[in-house]
C-alpha cells in the first residue's frame, strides 16, 4: 500500500461494523492518524470493539473529538461542513447509534459530496431540509 498515514478518520457512528477495520489499519500497518472525528454517543463505551478503538486513539496521541453541526473544517484543500448529530440528541445505546451518525458535506474542486452514515429516514429528512436551506443544491428524495 502506498498510504503511510491517515489524515482524517471520521467514525460516523459507534457500530462495530463501521469502526473495527480502522483498528487493523493502525495496528497492522502502523498508520498514524492525525485527526479523529467521532459522533456524540454514549455507545462509544458500549462494546469491546468501541472501547478498544478509544484506547487505541488514546495510545496513538489523542482520543478524538466530537463533531458538531455547523462546524467547518479546511482539511486537504476541501471544505467539510458537519450537518449531524445535534448536541445531546440520540445519545443513548446501540439502537440509537445510527442516528448519531456524523453527516457531512465535502466540497472539493467544485464537487460536493454528501456522506450520511447510517441515519434513518426521519433524521435524513431533517438534514435534507437544513441542507436545502443553506446550500445551493437540489435534494433528491426517493419515493415513499
pLDDT at 31 over 90: no
Give the model's pLDDT for residue 78. Answer: 93
Whether residue 137 is predicted with pLDDT greater than 60 in this model: the reply is: no
Q: What is the pTM of this model?
A: 0.81
Please tell me the predicted confidence (pLDDT) of residue 92: 63
Domains assigned to the chain: 6-134 (3.60.15.10)
Per-residue H/E/C for the chain: CCCCCEEEEEECCCCHHHHHHHHHHHHHHCCCEEEEEECCCHHHHCCHHHHHHHHHHHHHCCCCEECCCCCEEEECCEEEEEEECCCCCCCCCHHHHHHHCCEEEEEECCEEEEECCCCCHHHHHHHHHHHHHHCCCCCCCCCC
Amino acid at each position: 500500500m502506498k498510504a503511510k498515514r491517515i489524515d482524517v478518520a471520521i467514525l460516523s457512528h459507534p457500530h462495530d461494523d463501521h469502526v473495527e477495520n480502522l483498528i487493523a489499519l493502525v495496528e497492522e500497518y502502523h498508520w498514524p492518524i492525525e485527526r479523529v472525528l467521532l459522533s456524540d454517543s454514549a455507545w462509544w463505551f458500549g462494546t469491546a470493539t468501541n472501547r478498544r478503538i478509544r484506547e487505541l486513539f488514546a495510545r496513538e496521541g489523542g482520543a478524538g473529538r466530537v463533531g458538531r453541526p455547523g462546524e467547518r473544517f479546511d482539511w486537504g484543500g476541501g471544505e467539510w461542513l458537519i450537518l449531524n448529530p445535534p448536541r445531546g440528541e440520540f445519545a443513548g445505546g446501540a439502537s440509537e447509534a445510527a442516528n448519531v451518525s456524523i453527516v457531512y458535506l465535502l466540497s472539493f474542486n467544485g464537487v460536493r459530496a454528501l456522506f450520511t452514515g447510517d441515519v434513518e429516514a426521519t433524521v435524513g429528512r431533517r438534514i435534507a431540509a437544513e441542507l436545502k436551506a443553506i446550500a445551493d443544491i437540489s435534494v433528491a428524495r426517493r419515493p415513499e
